[in-house]
Structures are given as structure tokens and as C-alpha cells.
A and B are shown apart, each in its own frame.
Chain A
């Protein structure tokens, strides 16, 4: 309540100071999900990485199905965004934390913060902060992020490919010994639009069953990410 009042007071003041540099701390609070390389970007208000309820872009699809953030980075670069790609230098394991320092000193139009990364093991699940207006008041702000489904790939929950349009889940080394094998595949279709992820089904049969996902390790309830933004 106080924060809201103070913000209004500031908004009414003649001088508004735009946040120029802020730290973005990203914590993985899940039981067993890994994040692929994170994309942290400050961008202008006239663009978004996705719109819930609408079809994913091919750039978002590449991130959500295979963890490839380069197509999004290229698009953001050409739009003048301030982007920190892969601050954790690889996967962010359950329980781990990474920090990105975002400096928009020379790009004051980049008032919005977005964060995405693919969630493993999923077929096309990703965590997202979608165009948050970065607070201008110095302070520490905490946000909980939800898991989305890009809607571009069937959630068969089987080992497979991270290439866009190809079935199955990419399996990097930390997940390889944990996941099941020889599942028959959970029945599903690509949904066609970005939406809140329904969660993993999984099973307890590591050598068969419907799913290669382990139900006792890889399910989740939202939130799947805790973000702490520190505005200096």
C-alpha cells in the first residue's frame, strides 16, 4: 500500500527519473526443473516476446522447444533492446541462482523487462516475465513467474529433439541419468497458442510407461521462478 502511494507521489512530481541500471536476480525454486540459458532483456513498450492466447513466434518456439535464445536475441538487438543473454553460462539447476546486470543508460526507451527460458524436462514449456514495467523508485522488488506452454509441440513427454518442429524433449547431461526411457508417449497435440502450462504428467516407471518424465521429481506448482529486481 505504501509503495503504491509513494509511486503516485512520484508520478505527480515534475521530475521523473528513469531507472538506468538494475540487477535482476533469478532463482530456480523448483524441485527438479532445469532452466536452459536465460534471456533477460530490457526493451521498449511497443514490443513483446509473446502474447498469451496467441500463436508463438518462430523465435519464441526455438527457445521453448530447444532452449535456443539466439533468434530472440537477434530480434531484440535489431529493436534496440538491452539484452543479457545466458547470465548463468548454461543450465540453471534446481535451487541455483544467477544475476544479470541490466544497464539502460544509453537506451532510456527500454523501460520493460522480459525474462524467458525453457523448462526441462518439458516439450515446449518455458518460464516467463512478459514486459514488466521496471520500477523507477530505488528499491528491491520481488516477482513470482509462472510456467507457460508455447503451444508449438505436442507434450508427449518423451526423449527426443530440441529442434523446432521436431517431437520430443532435448536431454542435456544433468537430466540424462534422471529421466525415464522407452515411454510410449503421453497423448497430446500442439495446442497452437501460448498458455499457462498444465504441468507435467510423468509416471513412476523409469523403463516404460507413458512418459519419460518422473512424476515424483518433475512436476511443479506455480511459481517456477523467483525474480528479485534491485533498482539502484
Chain B
């Protein structure tokens, strides 16, 4: 019975959306419309620059990761090296992804960055949005807002989400100068390494960094690289 009510609510919406473009113009190749979203990321940490943003608009058939399961190589590269190119290329080849774009540069602590992503779709129904970046003074952390439902956003409307940090589970958390790619380390770290040598090969919630200031003598990090959740604030506005 509840299911029936649910459908009654949804059906008029579907009709409404279908009506928007059924008789649009002479372009018979596609009936799709463009849905444009502006993603504004604010780095809430004291000492963790965020790598260039990866923003993906998708449907339920794609997801950046599953908590408790092993990370894709694309996500591993993003989380170990701050390089989102593999992640974005892999997403782009998935039929459930409508847009996959990168931000323009690192987002330093306290700073805000904007990324615009445009999806061509028959309707707004089912659209999800994911943002991910690496906090670069870590071994293999990533901050993410995961599969946010943007199907109900009206033009001009904005929603705010808070991102927590995960550990990709692909690299040991040594915090050492030769494995941390960010500016708190030597700058000579290797970044991506295909070895998977963390406590387990699975994504988990990041425990934070210990740092040399708190007794981990092999760590290249100091207390200012510590953080707490949430790590970033993400505002999603529908522009079109």
C-alpha cells in the first residue's frame, strides 16, 4: 500500500519532466536536456591541502567505492598521489556516468574552489553527484561526498553536504617522507604504488594521522596536519 502511494507521487513528476522536452525543437538525434551543477568545495582542515577535485554526475549503476571493499586502481591513484586522471577516465567510460570533470588545482586549507559539471540526460530523475579529493599530507586518504541525490534540485537551489575522510586501504599509513606526496613531506615521495600493503585491502573510515608531534618518530607530519571530520564542506547548486 505504501508502495502505491509512493508511485502516485512519482508518476505526475515523471509526466511533468517528460513534457518538458517532448516537443522541443528540430533536433531529432536526441531528446536530452542539459543539467548543470556548480560544486563549491571548502577545505575545512588546518593543514591538509586537497588535491584537484573530481566531480562525477552519475546514476546508481556507478559508485566511486563501496565501504569495506577494495578500492579501484583509479581511486587508489587519486588517494595515494592526488592524481584524479585515472579515476575520471575510468568513470567516463562507464555508461552510468553522465559527466566526470576535474577541478583546476589543489584546494589549500581554508580555501574554496568551484567546479561546474554538466550532464545531458532525458530527465533529472535518478541523477547523483559525487565529489572526491585527496588530503595530500596522508598516505592514501580521500575525502568524499558520495552519490548525493541531486534529482530534486531546482534551478538556483543549493544544498550543503559535509565530507568525511576515508582510507583507501591501499597503502600502509607510515606517514613517512618518502610516501606522503603533500608539501608537509619532502616533495620526493613516490605517490602511487601498485602494492597494497595496508592493514587490509578495503576502504575504511580514516583514523586520522598520528604525527611525530604525538610520538610517531617515523612520521614526517606534525600536529598541524591532524584533522577531524568533517573535512570539507560541499555546496551543490543547480545552475541549469
A residues contacting B by CB (< 8 A) are 1-2, 6, 9-10, 13, 15, 17, 27, 29-32, 94-95, 97, 136-138, 144, 203-204, 215-217, 219-224, 226
- Residues of A near B227 (CB, < 8 A) are 221
- Residues of A near B215 (CB, < 8 A) are 203-204, 215
Given contacts A204-B217, A215-B216, contact A29 B67 (CB under 8 A): yes
**Of listed A30, A31, A32, residue having the most chain B CB within 10 A:** A31
A94 & B205 in contact (Cβ 8 Å cutoff):
no
Cα–Cα distance between A217 and B149 once the two chains are bound (Å): 34
B200 & A94 in contact (Cβ 8 Å cutoff):
yes
A95 & B164 in contact (Cβ 8 Å cutoff):
no
Q: Contacts A138-B6, A219-B207 known; list 19 others, CB within 8 Å.
A: A9-B9, A10-B2, A13-B5, A15-B1, A29-B68, A29-B205, A31-B167, A94-B200, A95-B68, A97-B68, A137-B6, A204-B210, A215-B214, A219-B208, A220-B207, A221-B206, A221-B207, A221-B208, A223-B164
Residue B165 is within 8 A (CB to CB) of chain A in the complex: yes
**Sample (6) of A-B pairs whose CB atoms are under 8 Å apart:** A1-B149, A2-B149, A29-B205, A221-B207, A221-B227, A223-B229
Residue B228 is within 8 A (CB to CB) of chain A in the complex: yes
Q: Count residues on chain B whose CB falls below 8 Å from chain A CBs.
A: 33
Question: Taking chain B's interface residues, is the majority helix, strand, or loop, or is none over half, making it mixed?
Answer: loop
A221 & B228 in contact (Cβ 8 Å cutoff):
yes
**Of listed B3, B68, B206, B207, residue having the most chain A CB within 10 A:** B207
Cα–Cα distance between A10 and B9 once the two chains are bound (Å): 10
Given contacts A95-B204, A222-B229, contact A217 B5 (CB under 8 A): no
A147 to chain B, nearest CB (A): 11
- Residues of A near B229 (CB, < 8 A) are 221-223
Cα–Cα distance between A204 and B175 once the two chains are bound (Å): 14
Residue B106 is within 8 A (CB to CB) of chain A in the complex: no
A94 & B204 in contact (Cβ 8 Å cutoff):
yes
**Of listed B1, B173, B214, residue having the most chain A CB within 10 A:** B214
- Residues of A near B204 (CB, < 8 A) are 29-31, 94-95
Cα–Cα distance between A85 and B94 once the two chains are bound (Å): 42
Residue B159 is within 8 A (CB to CB) of chain A in the complex: yes
B205 & A137 in contact (Cβ 8 Å cutoff):
no
Cα–Cα distance between A199 and B205 once the two chains are bound (Å): 14
- Residues of B near A97 (CB, < 8 A) are 68
Cα–Cα distance between A32 and B214 once the two chains are bound (Å): 19
Closest 5 A/B residue pairs (Cβ): A29-B205, A31-B207, A2-B152, A219-B207, A1-B152
Which of B99-119 touch A at CB < 8 Å?
none
B216 & A204 in contact (Cβ 8 Å cutoff):
yes
B205 & A221 in contact (Cβ 8 Å cutoff):
yes
B210 & A219 in contact (Cβ 8 Å cutoff):
yes
Residue of B nearest to A9 (CB): B9
- Residues of A near B68 (CB, < 8 A) are 27, 29, 95, 97
- Residues of A near B206 (CB, < 8 A) are 31, 221
B199 & A94 in contact (Cβ 8 Å cutoff):
yes
B165 & A221 in contact (Cβ 8 Å cutoff):
yes
B2 & A138 in contact (Cβ 8 Å cutoff):
yes
Cα–Cα distance between A15 and B4 once the two chains are bound (Å): 12
- Residues of A near B149 (CB, < 8 A) are 1-2
- Residues of B near A216 (CB, < 8 A) are 173, 210, 216
